[in-house]
């Protein structure tokens, strides 16, 4: 019984360790496609970024980490602020952008 509980716990840890991480940021000032393109370009230039999506209607920026990489929240926020926008909130989600947008 102990071995089975240990195996289940280990498998849960293993799955979580390899889960895709996406940072979701609510950003004020996103009003046009040019704004979205600028944010996407800056986020994609970061070495840990796999994908970026900007939703202008929801004022939402999603930044997905490359497998095995960790997103630097401070750096991502600084890049957005340096682009002229205001970061209202940020959170990490253990899903890919595709899973979030379903």
Domain range enclosing 60: 20-100
- In this prediction, residues 15-37 reach a mean pLDDT of 86
Residues near 65 by Cβ (< 8 Å), separated by ≥ 6? 20, 21, 22, 23, 48, 49, 50, 71
User: For residue 26, is it within any domain?
Assistant: yes
Q: pLDDT at residue 4 above 60? A: no
Total domains present in the chain: 1
Q: CA quadruple 11, 12, 17, 20: dihedral positive or negative?
A: positive
User: For residue 33, is it within any domain?
Assistant: yes
pLDDT of residue 11: 43
- In this prediction, residues 54-73 reach a mean pLDDT of 96
What are the tokens at 9?
Answer: 């716990």
User: For residue 14, is it within any domain?
Assistant: no
The CATH code of the domain that includes 91 is 3.30.70.100
User: For residue 58, is it within any domain?
Assistant: yes
User: For residue 93, is it within any domain?
Assistant: yes
């Amino acid at each position: 019984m102990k071995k089975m509980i240990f195996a289940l716990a280990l498998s849960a840890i293993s799955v979580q360790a390899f889960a895709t991480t996406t940072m979701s940021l609510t950003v004020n000032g996103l009003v046009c496609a040019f704004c979205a393109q600028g944010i996407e370009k800056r986020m994609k230039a970061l070495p840990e970024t796999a994908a970026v999506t900007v939703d202008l209607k929801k004022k939402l920026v999603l930044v997905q980490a490359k497998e095995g990489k960790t997103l630097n929240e401070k750096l991502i926020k600084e890049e957005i602020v340096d682009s002229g926008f205001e970061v209202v909130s940020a959170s990490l989600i253990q899903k890919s952008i595709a899973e979030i947008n379903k």
